[in-house]
């Protein structure tokens, strides 16, 4: 027996899923391979945020993270000699600090997404008492707004052609009992909305996607046209689920406009409410974000003919004369 026989093989990276911040899925039919994977919809719509507000938020989270867990990250940072404190190492500690400061809220949000997914798949309400109360509030709000979940659309992976191919995972699709209209629903767990900009762009991407993944997230699955997914075949009424066409309610900010629904379930246990966002505005956000991504890519390029800056060459005639 060799020493190698004493150890199990290291687990391989998942073939399908998110790695290094990008989706790793095969391309839809007729689409070229993408060796670097596909951009996430949330990353695309975040391409142009309020940079000043974002910077202030990053600084706040970094400082709070340095104080987390009795300041252990600060102690570890202080123990490193100045000569070894490179920019990359400082960046690493800053990211650790921000993760420490935001980890609790993120995990609360993940738990609520898992609770919604479990309910949509099984009809059972899981979670502790406060989470179950919020789930009851969501169902009550849905009923008051004449909305019900369409079966088979929990956590579906979609692909959009924008920016060379962008992927995301929508939480659900809903049917309005009063009008028969269909729309997408996304669960949001932040304490409050400070802007609808990125959210509207993200929901527009989910609403207007070209392809949806059907079957297991592995070799047994496949891409199908978004509006022809077999999930539509699961009936809850006589409505045929051909396309998203949900319209904003009269009296609201988006009256008469195509909308997506946001189910706001604050991770701190606040009251659940339903919001709607303007998808026409979201399309503008999505388009501009794609332009920003392309401009940033060109700005970093060193490829001749694509790059936009570099060393100024000497004039060939002046070199000959010299």
From first to last of its 322 residues, the chain has per-residue pLDDT tens of: 555 555 555 445 456 888 878 999 999 999 999 988 999 998 898 887 755 666 777 788 788 888 888 888 888 888 888 888 888 888 888 888 877 776 555 566 788 888 899 989 999 988 888 889 999 999 999 999 999 999 999 999 999 999 999 999 999 999 999 999 999 999 998 888 888 999 999 999 999 999 999 998 888 899 999 876 644 443 333 344 458 999 999 999 999 999 999 999 988 888 999 999 999 999 999 999 999 999 988 998 989 888 999 988 888 776 676 6
Residue 225 · residue 232 · CB < 8 Å: no
C-alpha to C-alpha distance for 126 and 108, rounded to whole angstroms: 14
39, 41, 47, 50 alpha-carbon torsion, rounded to 10°:
-160
Contacts of 37 (CB under 8 A, 6+ apart): 19, 20, 22, 23, 24, 25
Q: Is pTM beyond 0.85 here?
A: no
CB atoms within 10 A of CB 119: 18
Taking the domains of the chain in order of start, what are their residue ranges? 38-294
Please, what is the end-to-end C-alpha distance for the chain in angstroms? 74
- CA 119 to CA 225: how far, in whole Å? 26
- Tell me the angle at which helices 197-207 and 279-300 cross, rounded to the nearest 10 degrees: 100
**Enclosing H/E stretch for 161:** none
Topology of domain 38-294, per CATH? Lambda Exonuclease; Chain A (3.90.320)
Residue 276 CB: number of other CB atoms within 10 A? 24
């Amino acid at each position: 027996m060799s020493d190698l026989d004493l150890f199990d093989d290291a687990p391989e990276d998942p073939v399908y899923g998110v790695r290094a911040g990008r989706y790793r899925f095969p391309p839809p039919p007729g689409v070229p391979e993408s060796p670097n994977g596909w951009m996430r919809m949330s990353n695309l719509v975040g391409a142009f945020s309020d940079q000043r507000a974002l910077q202030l938020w990053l600084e706040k989270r970094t400082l709070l993270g340095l104080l987390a867990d009795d300041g252990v990250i600060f102690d570890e940072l202080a123990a490193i000699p100045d000569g070894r404190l490179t920019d990359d190492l400082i960046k690493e500690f800053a990211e650790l600090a921000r993760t420490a400061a935001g980890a609790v809220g993120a995990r609360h949000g993940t738990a609520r997404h898992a609770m919604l997914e479990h309910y949509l798949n099984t009809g059972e309400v899981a979670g502790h008492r406060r989470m179950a109360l919020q789930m009851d509030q969501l169902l009550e709000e849905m009923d008051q707004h004449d909305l019900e979940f369409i079966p088979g659309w929990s956590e579906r992976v979609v692909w959009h052609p924008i920016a060379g191919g962008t992927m995301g995972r929508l939480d659900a699709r809903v049917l309005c009992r009063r009008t028969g209209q269909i729309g997408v629903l996304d669960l949001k767990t932040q304490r409050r909305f400070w802007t609808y900009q990125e959210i509207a762009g993200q929901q527009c991407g989910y609403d207007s996607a070209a392809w949806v993944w059907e079957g297991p997230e592995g070799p047994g699955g496949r891409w199908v046209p978004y509006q022809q997914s077999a999930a539509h075949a699961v009936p809850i009424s006589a409505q045929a689920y051909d396309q998203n066409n949900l319209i904003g309610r009269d009296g609201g900010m988006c009256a008469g406009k195509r909308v997506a629904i946001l189910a706001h379930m604050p991770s701190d246990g606040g009251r659940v409410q339903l919001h709607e966002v303007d998808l026409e505005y979201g399309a503008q956000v999505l388009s501009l974000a794609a332009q920003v991504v392309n401009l940033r890519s060109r700005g970093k390029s060193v490829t001749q003919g694509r790059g936009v800056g570099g060393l100024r060459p000497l004039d060939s005639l002046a070199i000959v004369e010299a």
